[in-house]
Amino acid sequence: MKVKVVTRILEANERIAAENRKLFDEAGVYVINLMSAPGAGKTSLLERTAKELNKRLRIAVIEGDIAGTQDAERIGSLGVPVIQINTGGACHLDANMVNEVLGELPLKGVELLFVENVGNLVCPAEFNIGEDTKVMVLSITEGDDKPLKYPLMFQESSALILNKIDLLPYTNANIDKIKKDAMSLNPSLKIFEISCKTGEGISGWTDWLVKNVK
């Protein structure tokens, strides 16, 4: 019985995701569903990315949080168009939540739309929102056991940002193990080692974005 209900929820989600997909295609916008555990550095990555791209790509952002508008304020202060979704408790974004705010975010002229998902290493990866691709952030302070313990997000993502590499000297995380385990789950995963604090590695990521979007 439970399995049936879950299947129906996912089917309904896929239908609305396809509607979103159509709207994104019509607007000519490339959409990235950005996922991670809370605090891995999604918003920091978007701030760095906006500055580094420096108008090479016109971007917009949808922020997903359980509550609050802090992330939208951080992004909005950079002059990037942004809309905040508050899920009111739900631990992931679904296609319908994104669909409901699309009318408020003019997509005309936008080349790349980031959707920052709710901080959670599990179910955001289960719900398509109509994106072109999923990208995940894992900060090295979360520990090198995470790929094998939370495989789905690594499998669903096309790129993995290994963030906070400035903190490597202060952790016992084995970055080679993270990369090896992540690649064993998803051999086509593109991995970027980045520090949003120092800016190290950011240009490789933004070059990848430009190549994928243009």
- Nearer to ligand GDP among residue 118 and residue 209 (C-beta): 118
Could you say which of 14, 25, 38, 69 contacts ligand GDP (CB under 6 A)? 38
Q: Taking contact as CB under 5 A, which single stretch among the options 4-12, 88-96, 101-109, 149-157 is the one that binds Zn ion?
A: 88-96
Could you say which of 58, 179, 190, 197 contacts ligand GDP (CB under 6 A)? 197
Beta carbons of 116 and 71 less than 8 angstroms apart: yes
Between the alpha carbon of residue 75 and those of residues 46, 80, 134, 156, 195, the distances in Å are 8, 6, 20, 26, 18
Beta carbons of 165 and 175 less than 8 angstroms apart: yes
Could you say which of 13, 20, 33, 36 contacts ligand GDP (CB under 6 A)? 36
Minimum Å gap between C-beta 15 and ligand GDP is 29
Site for ligand GDP in 117-146 (CB under 6 A): 119
Could you say which of 27, 39, 107, 132 contacts ligand GDP (CB under 6 A)? 39
Binding-residue total with ligand GDP (CB under 6 A):
16
Could you say which of 164, 185, 205, 206 contacts ligand GDP (CB under 6 A)? 164
How far apart (Å, rounded) are the C-alpha atoms in residues 98 and 63? 10
Site for Mg ion in 55-74 (CB under 5 A): 71
* Lookup result for tokens 């299947």: 7
Helix axes 2-27, 95-102, angle to 10 degrees: 30
Does residue 43 interact with ligand GDP by CB under 6 A? Answer: yes
- Nearer to ligand GDP among residue 39 and residue 151 (C-beta): 39
Is residue 151 left, alpha or beta, with left meaning phi > 0 and alpha meaning psi from -120 to 50? alpha
Which amino acid belongs to residue 17? Answer: A
